């Protein structure tokens, strides 16, 4: 029996389950650059170029390893633009007996695939994506009967399951979590190593030219292009982080500095999420660095938690709660996304910095996403559908399985607390503490009201007032309502006036 084995653009690993049992004499790998996938939202130009280049490089590596590969480029004249029709075209051409594919990362793609067997008249096997460390069934079993799904509980189970940073049944160092050591603000004199960068080769340059031609109206800067696009390059990126950035990652992972978009972060989410790197090899590299005294425990534990904890956790929630999760809107937020999320044209320097860097790099680190861009969207009451679409478009590591729970659950509290125990709303003090953005801002961080007051200050309180019915029983927020209630009526009126004036101007 001959088998067509479809590999998607985020499945660029020779260990992918769809390649299990490949027979050179009978089987063919199909890879396609799909118009619909590039345009169902208008992805960042650099994101499209990165993924198409990585796909083309991976196809060449498979061919060199003896695989039969059919590769459909975006501008091939017969490209039909959709997965189903490209699979159908290939099946008809070669008369395959059945199709094998690894479980996709997005619900809409899975629903499409589940129709193929009937529509195409050929058996289709959708195999589990075993690159992840917790299957969707395992996560559902863990979640069953729990009113709230807390990361910390899940993370500890994963540590035990894989014996990561463990002394028998106890965590190395006596603690599970070292977040209390990982919130240092930026300080003068930090020497931040250069991030990984690779020059575009011939394949990448061909893709860059194609993206420039066909996606000129998409958001973002296409060049300079510096992504790793092969597994060897991705491993170099991981090694660079482990050797030069990991030791300071923990302490300064929440810090933000103007003109320093990369900080001490690993920037390997690009490569983990498309398959060029595997999660356990990244975890083991960090654990080994700790054992070699190359990095402190707080940094290593914090990095590992992001991979075996948070990454697996949000994927589990995504597949547990879809498709309804995409429509969650706990606060009933309806405001349109402001234009400055695309243009960076705003007097708020923190927003300007984060949007500008996102436009240039298709990247921002987690605190920029959560506590600047996300925090503003939360306290301004921006429609979750629009916020989710923006995050999916602009970041090269964004796929719906990772983006949606982070945005709807963590950033916007749109699920009403299913993922997070409280909204991550904050005024200007947090941004001022964790960054140097406020020094070059048109607004005054210390002013609470008035035309030159930082909008985060009055919008924070306005958010709490607007959503009091939904939040006042939350034990992690209730203290702030007591503070608000002690304010005099003049201050409350100023909060209402300044917030309404500012929000009206957004539209």
- Work out whether strand 170-171 and strand 166-167 pair parallel, antiparallel, or are unpaired: antiparallel
For 299, the token pair is: 């940094």
Position of tokens 């006036």? 497
Q: What is the pLDDT of residue 371?
A: 97
Which band of pLDDT confidence, cut at 50, 70 and 90, is reported for residue 202? very high
Q: What is the pLDDT of residue 26?
A: 92
What average pLDDT does range 110-138 have in this prediction?
96
- The least confident of 14-23, 144-153, 308-317, 407-416 is 144-153
The residues spanned by each domain of the chain are: 3-127, 136-193+245-321, 340-506
Q: What is the pLDDT of residue 51?
A: 98
Question: pTM score, two decimals?
Answer: 0.96
Sign of CA dihedral 77, 78, 84, 90: negative
Taking only Cα atoms into account, the Rg of the chain, rounded to an integer number of angstroms, comes to: 24
Q: What is the pLDDT of residue 148?
A: 81
Superfamily per CATH, domain 340-506: DNA Cyclobutane Dipyrimidine Photolyase, subunit A, domain 3 (1.10.579.10)
Q: What is the pLDDT of residue 294?
A: 96
Q: Which CATH architecture has domain 136-193+245-321?
A: Alpha Horseshoe (1.25)
Q: Is the pLDDT of residue 1 over 80?
A: no
Query: Average model confidence (pLDDT) for the chain?
Result: 96
Among 3.40.190.10, 3.40.50.920, 3.40.50.620, 3.40.630.30, name the CATH number for the domain at 3-127: 3.40.50.620
Percent with pLDDT over 90 in the chain: 95
- Work out whether strand 3-6 and strand 166-167 pair parallel, antiparallel, or are unpaired: unpaired
Percent with pLDDT over 70 in the chain: 100
Residue 425 vs residues 35, 254, 377, 436: alpha-carbon distances, Å? 38, 15, 10, 19
What average pLDDT does range 430-453 have in this prediction?
96
């Amino acid at each position: 029996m001959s088998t067509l084995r479809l590999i998607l653009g985020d499945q660029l690993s020779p260990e992918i389950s769809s390649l299990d049992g490949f027979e050179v004499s009978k089987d063919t790998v199909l890879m396609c650059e799909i118009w619909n996938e590039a345009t169902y939202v208008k992805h960042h130009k650099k994101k499209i170029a990165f993924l198409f280049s990585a796909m083309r490089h991976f196809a060449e590596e498979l061919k060199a390893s003896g695989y039969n590969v059919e590769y459909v480029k975006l501008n091939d004249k017969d490209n039909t633009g959709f997965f189903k029709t490209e699979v159908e075209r290939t099946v008809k051409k070669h008369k395959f007996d059945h199709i094998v594919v690894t479980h996709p990362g997005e619900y809409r793609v899975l629903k499409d695939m589940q129709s193929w067997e009937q529509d195409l008249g050929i058996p289709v096997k959708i195999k589990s994506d075993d690159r992840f460390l917790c299957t969707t069934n395992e996560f559902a079993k863990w979640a069953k009967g729990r009113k709230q799904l807390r990361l910390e509980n899940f993370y500890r189970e994963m540590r035990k399951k894989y014996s990561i940073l463990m002394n028998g049944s106890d965590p190395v160092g006596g603690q599970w979590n070292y977040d209390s050591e990982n919130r240092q603000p930026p300080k003068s004199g930090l020497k931040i190593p250069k991030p990984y960068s690779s020059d575009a080769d011939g394949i990448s340059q061909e893709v860059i030219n194609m993206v420039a031609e066909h996606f000129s109206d998409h958001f973002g800067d296409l060049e300079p292009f510096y992504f790793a696009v092969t597994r060897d390059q991705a491993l170099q990126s991981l090694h660079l982080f482990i050797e030069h950035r990991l030791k300071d990652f923990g302490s300064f992972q929440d810090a933000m500095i103007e003109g320093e978009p990369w900080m001490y972060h690993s920037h390997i989410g690009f490569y983990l999420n498309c398959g060029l790197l595997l999660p356990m090899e990244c975890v083991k590299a960090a654990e080994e660095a700790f054992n070699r005294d190359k990095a402190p425990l707080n940094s290593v534990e914090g990095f590992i938690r992001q991979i075996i904890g948070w990454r697996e956790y949000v994927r589990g929630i995504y597949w547990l709660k879809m498709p309804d999760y995409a429509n969650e809107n706990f606060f009933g937020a309806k405001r349109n996304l402001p234009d400055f999320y695309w243009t960076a044209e705003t007097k708020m320097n923190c927003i300007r910095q984060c949007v500008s860097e996102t436009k240039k790099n298709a990247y921002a680190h987690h605190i920029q996403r959560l506590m600047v861009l996300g925090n503003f969207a939360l306290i301004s009451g921006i429609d979750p559908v629009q916020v989710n679409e923006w995050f999916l478009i602009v970041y090269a590591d964004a796929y719906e399985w990772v983006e949606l729970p982070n945005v709807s659950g963590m950033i916007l509290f749109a699920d009403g607390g299913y993922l997070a125990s409280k909204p991550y709303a904050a005024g200007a003090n947090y941004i001022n503490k964790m960054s140097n953005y406020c020094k070059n801002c048109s607004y005054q961080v210390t002013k609470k009201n008035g035309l030159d007051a930082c909008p985060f200050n009055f919008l924070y309180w306005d958010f709490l007032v607007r959503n009091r019915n939904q939040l006042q029983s939350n034990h992690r927020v209730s203290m702030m309502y007591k503070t608000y209630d002690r304010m005099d009526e003049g201050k409350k009126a100023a909060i209402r006036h300044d917030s309404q004036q500012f929000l009206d101007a957004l539209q």
